[in-house]
């Protein structure tokens, strides 16, 4: 065969690391984001949609000095400037807050939902374009703004279908962490750039507590650690006294539980066991919450005591650090504000173990974790984990204007939250296909379209089969592929008598699989009705299947 003028055909493929979303996938995400947007709106936040393209300069990446622009973003040159696709929704917000600072209300409260792009090596389940869903308050120094965002995140999670008890929002403060660094001698308030490398290693080590345990973290804080495969990770090189201070912080939740246990024992000894309000409250901490980082008892007294003890233990650890004690005071204020709004520890808890990686946080940090178990690819049960996080970042706008602007915000991992809803069976139901009016007689297409029109006007999703009608089997196969609930059939004979055949495809599929002869007879999957009864018959069948 002669080649098509030597031109090769283009490949029909998405670029590596990109994907398409079909029908129900688009609908499920939209339904979830619409619900979240409604919550954000109720909280007084306004929508913002920035352009997908920013200058590399505004994004804060270094200008590339070679042909290949910076890794991490998709970038291209234009008249000597570099443009790039945004890699998150926070950098564009900082740019907007600076650009429109004279016009925007202050504080400026906005939410944003949309795709972001990362020029990273794609992997299984790792894409280079994905959705983010952020809410931020810019220009509010008060931690009331942080508390509000935690409450809003809680409402949003429940609104989309994560039940109370299936999640917990954990709140910490970067200042507390800095206080720990200070008392451990690896943060010098007079010279913040000293010990930067050590602090980086310490942060990464703390973040691995879940996986490596206390001994693993201890090794990483000291000389280093050899993993199971024999690979050696260099440690922070701290001394024993330094390490002890950091580990005391890392295990602070255990100290809190120990302290509570002592209090309970005191309380029960001083009266009849389990009768005083205090001992009952304390008991409820232990009866409902074996693990320190799970959501705990809804008993308000129990939660108040627990928060108080947590802050007390923290204070004792870092009382020599000014910034650390500032952090404790902020956590105390956040806890009080949340209590006043009824957000107890069954939803939001103060938890000093939350670190969060991003370097730019300067105050409160928070993280929403789903606490139910799912089964991983290998069939093992595991906790679902984090679906959202955020915190205070007071220096982002300063890059543009030179003036510090306090800001705090949260980002929801859209794909992870969708996966969680699917795992809980709480995604929106699989979308139903349209009623398909089949084409028995090609010369009668106008009449078939008339039927379709009647159904649509009645609000029923419907279409006429638009492929080649020759093979009737293909028409029913098409209806099947579309997950159509009903097919309509009208041949010459039916047309002459003014009737149509209405076929219940859901029932038909069920009967075909499992029905006895009696059932076939009792409830036929296909019936003949006058054309005038088309809409009511279709409605009745669709009602039958909910």
Separation between Cα atoms, residue 10 and residue 81, nearest integer Å: 31
SS3 275: coil
* 272 or 446: CB nearest a copy of itself: 446
* 153 or 220: CB nearest a copy of itself: 153
Contact between 62 and a copy of itself by CB under 8 A: the answer reads no
Quick note: the x/- pattern for a copy of itself over 450-479, rule CB under 8 A, is x-xx--x--xxxxxx-xxx---------x-
In whole angstroms, the minimum distance from the beta carbon of 203 to a copy of itself comes to 25
Contact between 401 and a copy of itself by CB under 8 A: the answer reads yes
Tell me which residues in 184-243 interact with a copy of itself (CB under 8 A).
none
Residues 6+ apart with CB under 8 A from 411: 88, 89, 90, 132, 133, 134, 388, 389, 390
CB half-sphere exposure, 87, CA atoms < 13 A: 17
Tell me which residues in 77-106 interact with a copy of itself (CB under 8 A).
78, 81, 83, 85, 92, 95-96, 98-99, 105-106
In whole angstroms, the minimum distance from the beta carbon of 484 to a copy of itself comes to 9
DSSP symbols for 385-397: EEEEEEEE-TTTT
In whole angstroms, the minimum distance from the beta carbon of 414 to a copy of itself comes to 13
Separation between Cα atoms, residue 57 and residue 410, nearest integer Å: 24
Cis amide linkage into residue 105, ω under 30° from 0: no
* 204 or 444: CB nearest a copy of itself: 444
What DSSP character marks residue 444? G
CB half-sphere exposure, 488, CA atoms < 13 A: 28
Contact between 301 and a copy of itself by CB under 8 A: the answer reads no
Tokens of 109: 């409260």
Count the Cβ atoms, other than its own, within 10 Å of residue 373: 12
Quick note: the x/- pattern for a copy of itself over 415-454, rule CB under 8 A, is ----------------x-xx-x--------xxx-xx-xx-
Separation between Cα atoms, residue 374 and residue 423, nearest integer Å: 7
Contact between 19 and a copy of itself by CB under 8 A: the answer reads yes
Contact between 26 and a copy of itself by CB under 8 A: the answer reads yes
Taking CB under 8 A as the binding criterion, the range among 15-23, 164-172, 223-231, 486-494 that sits at the site for a copy of itself is 15-23
Contact between 50 and a copy of itself by CB under 8 A: the answer reads yes
Separation between Cα atoms, residue 325 and residue 243, nearest integer Å: 20
- Compute the CA torsion angle 75, 79, 80, 84 (nearest 10 deg): -20
Separation between Cα atoms, residue 424 and residue 408, nearest integer Å: 30
Contact between 21 and a copy of itself by CB under 8 A: the answer reads yes
In whole angstroms, the minimum distance from the beta carbon of 439 to a copy of itself comes to 9
Tell me which residues in 138-167 interact with a copy of itself (CB under 8 A).
139-142, 144-145, 147-148, 151, 155
CB-based contact 489:497 (threshold 8 Å): no
Contact between 49 and a copy of itself by CB under 8 A: the answer reads yes
In whole angstroms, the minimum distance from the beta carbon of 392 to a copy of itself comes to 12
Contact between 115 and a copy of itself by CB under 8 A: the answer reads yes
* 46 or 227: CB nearest a copy of itself: 46
Tell me which residues in 523-542 interact with a copy of itself (CB under 8 A).
none
Rounded to whole angstroms, what are the CA distances from 362 to 203, 392, 413? 14, 6, 21
In whole angstroms, the minimum distance from the beta carbon of 143 to a copy of itself comes to 9
Taking Cα atoms as reference points, which of 55, 61, 118, 50 lies closest to residue 89? 50
Tokens of 387: 């679906």
Separation between Cα atoms, residue 168 and residue 293, nearest integer Å: 9
Contact between 481 and a copy of itself by CB under 8 A: the answer reads yes
Name which position in 36, 89, 117, 504 contacts a copy of itself (CB under 8 A): 117
Contact between 18 and a copy of itself by CB under 8 A: the answer reads yes
* 74 or 360: CB nearest a copy of itself: 74
Contact between 360 and a copy of itself by CB under 8 A: the answer reads no
* 19 or 544: CB nearest a copy of itself: 19
């Amino acid at each position: 065969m002669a080649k098509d003028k030597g031109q090769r055909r283009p490949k029909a493929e998405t670029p590596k690391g990109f994907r398409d979303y079909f029908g129900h996938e688009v609908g499920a995400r939209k339904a979830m984001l619409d619900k979240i947007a409604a919550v954000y709106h109720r909280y007084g936040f306004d929508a913002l949609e920035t352009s997908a393209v920013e200058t590399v300069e505004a994004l804060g990446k270094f200008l590339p000095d070679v042909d290949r622009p910076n890794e991490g973003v998709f970038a291209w040159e234009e008249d000597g400037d570099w443009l790039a696709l945004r890699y998150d929704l926070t950098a564009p917000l900082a740019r907007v807050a600076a650009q429109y600072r004279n016009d925007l209300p202050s504080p400026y409260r906005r939410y944003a939902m949309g795709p972001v792009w990362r020029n990273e090596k794609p992997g299984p389940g790792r894409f280079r374009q994905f959705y983010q869903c952020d809410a931020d308050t810019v220009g509010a120094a008060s931690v009331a703004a942080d508390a509000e965002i935690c409450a809003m995140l809680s409402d949003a999670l429940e609104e989309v279908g994560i039940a109370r008890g299936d999640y917990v929002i954990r709140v910490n403060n970067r200042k507390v962490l800095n206080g720990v660094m200070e008392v451990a001698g690896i943060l010098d308030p007079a010279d913040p750039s000293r010990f930067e490398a050590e602090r980086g290693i310490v942060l990464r080590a703390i973040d691995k507590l879940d996986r490596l345990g206390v001994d693993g973290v201890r090794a990483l804080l000291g000389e280093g650690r050899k993993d199971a495969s024999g690979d050696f990770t260099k440690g922070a090189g701290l001394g024993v006294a330094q390490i002890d201070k950091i580990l005391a912080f890392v295990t602070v939740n255990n100290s809190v539980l120990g302290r509570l246990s002592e209090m309970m024992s005191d309380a029960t000894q001083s009266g009849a066991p389990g009768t005083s309000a205090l001992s009952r409250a304390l008991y409820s901490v232990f009866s409902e919450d074996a693990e320190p980082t799970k959501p705990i008892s809804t008993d308000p007294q129990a939660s108040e005591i627990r928060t108080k003890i947590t802050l007390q233990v923290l204070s004792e650890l870092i009382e020599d650090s000014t910034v650390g004690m500032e952090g404790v005071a902020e956590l105390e204020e956040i806890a009080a504000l949340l209590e006043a709004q009824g957000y107890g520890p069954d939803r939001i808890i103060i938890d000093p173990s939350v670190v969060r990686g991003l370097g730019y946080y300067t105050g409160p940090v928070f993280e929403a974790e789903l606490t139910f178990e799912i089964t991983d690819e290998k069939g093992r049960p595991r906790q679902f984990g984090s679906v959202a996080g955020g915190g205070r970042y007071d220096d982002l706008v300063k890059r543009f204007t030179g003036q510090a602007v306090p800001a705090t915000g949260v980002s929801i991992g859209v794909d992870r939250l969708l996966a969680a809803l699917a795992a809980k069976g709480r995604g929106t139901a699989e979308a139903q296909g349209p009623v398909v009016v089949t084409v028995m007689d090609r010369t009668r297409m106008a009449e078939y379209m008339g039927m379709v029109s009647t159904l649509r006007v009645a609000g029923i999703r419907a279409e006429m089969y638009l492929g080649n009608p020759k093979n009737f089997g293909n028409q029913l196969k098409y209806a099947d592929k579309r997950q159509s609930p009903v097919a309509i059939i009208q041949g010459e004979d039916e047309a002459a008598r003014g009737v149509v055949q209405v076929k219940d495809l859901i029932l038909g599929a069920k009967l075909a699989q499992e029905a006895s002869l009696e059932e076939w007879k009792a409830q036929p999957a296909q019936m003949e009705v006058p054309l005038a009864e088309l809409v009511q018959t279709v409605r009745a069948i669709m009602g039958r299947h909910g």
